[in-house]
Amino acid sequence: MIYLDYQATTPVAPEVVQAMAPWISDKFANPHSPSPWGREADAAIAVARKQVEGALGLAGGSVAFTGSATEALNWALKGSVEKAPPGRNRIITLTTEHAAVLDTCEWLAGCGIDLTLLPVGPDGLFDLELLARALDERVLLVAVMLVNNEIGVMQPIGEIARMARAVGALMLCDAVQGFGRVEMPQGPDLIAISAHKIHGPKGIGALWTRNGAEPEPLIHGGGQERGLRSGTLSPALCVGFGAAAKLSDERCNRDYDHVRQLWPLALHTLGEGWIVNGSVNHRYPGNLNVRRDGLDAARLLADVRDFAFSSGSACASGSGRPSHVLKALGLDYREARSSIRLGFGRYTSQDDLVAACRKIAEAADVQGRAYA
């Protein structure tokens, strides 16, 4: 199988597997135990935390481990609302955000929070002037993702953070698809990340918070993670996250240059008739979201069984609903259902990419002739 679904998840790096192995078998102690074995596990987690923080490259804050990026985003949003000063009860976000943000914001709106959803243009970018008009002293938090998980479009996070701070609001960045792949922007107060998007294990994420901007705890109990997130940490998962972060930090430029060469190769190999969804210039090049008139993407996925790719985000692909991101770009139902997402990365070879794109193009041609 040729794997082209790097936005859904990434293959675990061999170096990460090797780093995790002892903590899965022999070194099984509870890291919160005062025993020598527990202290050894706790020390390993401390190293992993420094590795993740080092890969982020941000000063004046720290990382708390979570069970996923979804948990981190829920914690950032709900915990910030809980901690908000009187009069700040408004959240601003984009219509193209991940469901972990949008669904949480809708839940908060049901609890009385004022929610403002800003639209994007056909290129997936939003007008900063809209944000400027929406910002005032009532805004508690602005939530915008760095790299969109479906179309790869990148938003100007540094400028958004500056604008939010100017009115005393917090800025939350969902950096799941950008961490370890592009340089982290300066300015956000809260940043959610995940291990399995950077060749690490599933089941662990993290929330970086600027000092003083820590949200109220979402999970109470044993007081782990400085009392911010209770629950026994997994040394294996933490060590795996740290190893993946360190490796991604060391390879970031090399990996980026690799996918930057693959993106035009994939588009060229697909051939004529394919239209890029979202901005061509303001995007992470490891994501190619394209559509072809008349294509049934769901059927294409069934026809091309030797290759892993997607017709939308991994979280929503089983719902049967058109992508809310593509809908936000102005695509109609027919255009959205004719779209596919190819994600490539560190271990994608040019030969594999060409072979997969040729097969996809051939299957699309066959489908087109059948319905001509």
Cα separation, 290 vs 273, in Å, equals 10
**Would you say the CATH fold of 14-247 matches that of 2-8+252-370?**
no
Tens of pLDDT, residue by residue over 288-312, are 999 999 999 999 999 888 899 998 5
Q: State the Rg of the chain over Cα.
A: 21
Of 105, 104, 65, which is closest to residue 208 (Cα–Cα)? 65
| Active-site option among 173, 238, 315, 357 | 315
Mention the CATH class of domain 14-247.
alpha beta
Mention the CATH class of domain 2-8+252-370.
alpha beta
For the chain, the domains span 2-8+252-370, 14-247
- Percentages (nearest 5) of helix, strand, coil residues in the chain: 40, 15, 45
Which H or E run contains 140? Answer: strand 139-145
- Give backbone dihedrals phi and psi of 116, rounded to 5 degrees, phi first: -115, 120
> Which residue type does 62 have?
S
Considering the entire predicted model, what is its pTM? Answer: 0.95
Say whether 252 is catalytic: no
CA distances (Å), origin 300, targets 160, 290, 312, 361, 371: 38, 13, 13, 10, 13
Q: Consecutive 10-residue runs of the chain (372 residues): their mean pLDDT? A: 96 98 94 95 98 97 98 98 96 98 98 98 97 97 98 98 98 98 96 98 98 96 94 97 98 98 97 96 97 93 90 54 92 94 97 96 84 56
Query: What is the reported pLDDT for 367?
Result: 85
Neighbours of 43 (CB within 10 A): 12
Cα separation, 125 vs 308, in Å, equals 28
